[in-house]
Each structure stands twice: as structure tokens, then as C-alpha cells.
């Protein structure tokens, strides 16, 4: 059953921003960077659900060194397009990350509030190191000063969908990334 909100999404138009081939090419480069940064180590990549599941799945297949994965699910947006800053953990980590080399894997960093929360929370488990990888970064929207170590693409301040990113839970299955034209 589709809600009326979801019906309106189907009627919206989308403008191609980053084609699938370009995403795959960049993902390869991000994987190579991780291979270099973590040579001789076994990092654990933590995918941030829901959006980060495709990024994590593709990224690990571009990494040649041994690595582990885990997922965490947080919510700050509900069905809105702006971060409320009120972040809840909906699914906690399963792995013990004490003394581990941790890479947080995000689909997109917008205000950076989710990341600030995650970084603080994961640091409390005393990992050996903690870095952030994100496919997309809306740099102009950052409200906090957090260095992002591995970035796929800096993008303009537009709402984007596809490749795991949703508009009210729909459109995650698109293979390329699109701007929503309201
Ligand atoms: P932040 O806390 O404002 O940095 O928000 C980060 C999270 O909001 C991301 O991990 C996404 O799940 C979601 N988000 C931010 N911008 C977009 C967008 O343009 N499209 C889809 N989801 C977005
Ligand atoms: Mg996310």
C-alpha cells in the first residue's frame, strides 16, 4: 500500500547528478585510499543505516586488505529533509570496537550533526583510530567542525536521492544519484 505522501514522490521529477559509472569509479579510488591508509591492519567499517547500506556493500568490494563490517542505525530526520539534531540509536553496534581501527561509512554528510553524535558515541568505546568515509558531502551545510577523511563527491545544497538515499523511504533502489526537482 502506498501512502499519499509516497504517491506525490512518484510524480516528482529528478535530474541526474552523478551517473552510476562515475560512482563506481570514485568508489574504486576510495577503496584504494583505504588500502593505503590501513596497510597491515584489519579495519572495521561501520555502515550507517539505512542510507549507507549500498555505499558499504560497494566500498568493501573495492578494498583488497582484510576488513570487517558492522552496522548501526540512527535516526534524526524522521520523514523530514532537515536534521532535527535529536538523534536516537535505533540499532546499536554488535561488534566490540575497543582497540579497533574504525571507519564510519555514510551515504551523505549534510549538517554533520549525525556524525558528531556518532563520533562521540563510538569514541567512548575506545577504538584505536576512528575515521569517516562518506560518498557525498554537502560542505556548505556543515554546522559542526568535523574533519572528513575520505570523501567521494562534494555536492551543492540540493536534496538528492538514489544509491541508498531516500525521499520518504522511496528511491533508494535507483543506481545513479539524482537531484529532486520539486
Ligand atoms: P546530517 O546529520 O544533517 O549530516 O544528516 C545526515 C543524514 O541525513 C544522512 O546520513 C542521510 O541519511 C540524511 N540526508 C541528508 N541529506 C540528504 C539528502 O540530500 N538526501 C537523502 N538523505 C539525506
Ligand atoms: Mg545516513
Q: Kindly tell me if the per-residue pLDDT of 8 is higher than 70.
A: no
Which residue in 155, 156, 132 sits closest to 145, CA to CA? 132
| pTM exceeds 0.85 for this model | yes
Helix (H) or strand (E) holding 21: helix 20-37
By DSSP bridging, strand 129-137 and strand 68-75 are unpaired
**CB distance 51 to 65 below 8 Å:** no
- The dihedral over CA atoms of 57, 122, 67, 135, expressed in degrees to the nearest 10, equals 40
The span from the CA of 151 to the CA of 179, in Å, is: 19
User: What grid cell was written down for 96?
Assistant: 566490540
Model confidence pLDDT, tens digit, residues 59-118: 999 999 999 999 999 986 555 666 666 788 999 999 999 999 999 999 999 999 999 999
Query: How many percent of the chain have pLDDT more than 70?
Result: 88
Q: Is the CB of 112 under 6 A from ligand 1?
A: yes
pLDDT of 181: 83
Point out the residues that are catalytic: 110
Nearest CA to ligand 1 atom 10: 108
Nearest CA to ligand 1 atom 20: 160
Query: Which of 64-73, 77-86, 137-146, 148-157 is the least confident region?
Result: 77-86
Q: Is the CB of 167 under 6 A from ligand 1?
A: no
Amino acid at each position: 500500500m502506498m501512502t499519499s505522501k509516497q504517491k506525490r514522490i512518484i510524480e516528482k521529477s529528478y535530474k541526474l547528478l552523478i551517473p552510476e559509472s562515475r560512482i563506481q569509479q570514485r568508489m574504486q579510488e576510495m577503496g584504494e585510499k583505504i588500502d593505503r591508509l590501513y596497510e597491515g591492519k584489519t579495519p572495521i567499517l561501520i555502515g550507517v543505516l539505512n542510507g549507507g547500506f549500498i555505499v558499504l556493500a560497494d566500498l568493501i568490494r573495492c578494498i583488497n586488505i582484510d576488513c570487517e563490517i558492522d552496522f548501526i542505525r540512527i535516526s534524526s530526520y524522521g520523514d523530514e529533509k532537515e536534521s532535527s539534531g535529536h538523534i536516537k540509536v535505533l540499532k546499536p553496534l554488535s561488534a566490540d570496537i575497543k582497540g579497533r581501527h574504525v571507519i564510519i561509512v555514510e551515504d551523505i554528510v549534510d549538517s554533520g550533526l549525525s556524525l558528531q553524535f556518532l563520533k562521540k558515541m563510538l569514541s567512548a568505546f575506545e577504538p584505536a583510530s576512528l575515521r569517516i568515509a562518506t560518498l557525498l558531502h554537502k560542505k556548505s551545510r556543515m554546522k559542526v567542525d568535523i574533519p572528513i577523511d575520505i570523501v567521494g563527491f562534494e555536492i551543492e545544497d540540493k536534496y538528492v536521492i538514489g544509491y541508498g538515499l531516500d525521499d520518504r523511504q522511496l528511491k533508494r533502489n535507483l543506481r545513479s544519484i539524482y537531484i529532486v526537482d520539486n
